Amino acid sequence: MNDDDIKQWFAGLQRELETAYLAAETAWQQSGFSGPIERWVACRRVIADCMKESGTFLDIGCANGYLLECVLGWAGERGVEIDPWGLDLSERLVGWAKERLGNHKEKLFVGNGLFWEPPRLFDYVRTELCYVPNECVHSYIERILNEYLTPGGKLLVAEYRSRGQSSSGPWVDDNLRELGFAVESCVGGFWQSQELTRVAMVCSSKIG
């Protein structure tokens, strides 16, 4: 893929997701999730469960900010204080995230995780492998580990599946191992006995 192909790949992704999310009605549908709120909770709460200590959290692909809002609440129930930051390709979705998270407006950015220069380091970063073309996945993950995370910070790589795809093929942790990354731990989000979310944790090996 040359630079033009990569540019077009991202333009296509943004067009497709933005069109669907902006037309949706509920907060979770505007974050790309279809199904009832109970399923959203079952499939997304596992992300907050990975956060055992208070710290900064960057959601790469924050859409309308609903996951950030939920994670603040879920972690807060356990006394874990999360400072929420977000990044998304879509200016309009980041606009909605700013409305949702008014007190944190200045921490929500329009940009591409593959190229963005973070203004600080984060204790937790969430993303997905499907946010970049296949040939960029290795450098994307390496870049987050080296340039986005505090020493010892945790990269939470999520994979979300529909009920029809639940048991199809290798999950994100297998893909990361195949690429040579050390997956420290892994959790699943289940709905009616089907695993629909998996979150693989990879730790930054930087020395503090």
Ligand X SMILES: C[S@@+](CC[C@H](N)C(=O)[O-])C[C@H]1O[C@@H](n2cnc3c(N)ncnc32)[C@H](O)[C@@H]1O
The residue ranges that bind ligand X (CB under 6 A) are: 13-14, 17, 31-33, 44, 59-63, 67, 87-90, 93, 112-114, 131-132, 158
Question: Is residue 190 helix, strand or coil?
Answer: strand
Q: Looking at beta carbons only, is 16 or 53 nearer to ligand X?
A: 16
d(CA 49, CA 78): 9
Cα 58 to the chain's mean position, in Å? 8
Q: Looking at beta carbons only, is 29 or 150 nearer to ligand X?
A: 29
- Vertex 112, ends 111 and 114: CA angle to 5°? 145
- Vertex 94, ends 91 and 99: CA angle to 5°? 130
Residue 121 Cβ, how far from ligand X at the closest point, in Å?
Answer: 18
Residue 207 Cβ, how far from ligand X at the closest point, in Å?
Answer: 28
Question: Is residue 167 helix, strand or coil?
Answer: coil
d(CA 192, CA 198): 15
Residue 55 Cβ, how far from ligand X at the closest point, in Å?
Answer: 18
Residue 174 Cβ, how far from ligand X at the closest point, in Å?
Answer: 20
Residue 111 Cβ, how far from ligand X at the closest point, in Å?
Answer: 6
Q: Looking at beta carbons only, is 123 or 151 nearer to ligand X?
A: 123
Q: Looking at beta carbons only, is 61 or 153 nearer to ligand X?
A: 61
Residue closest to ligand X (Cβ): 61
d(CA 198, CA 190): 9
Residue 182 Cβ, how far from ligand X at the closest point, in Å?
Answer: 23
172 in Cβ contact with 200 (< 8 Å): yes
The candidate with the shortest Cα–Cα distance to 43, out of 205, 208, 198, is 198
Q: Looking at beta carbons only, is 58 or 176 nearer to ligand X?
A: 58
Residue with tokens 């970063």: 125
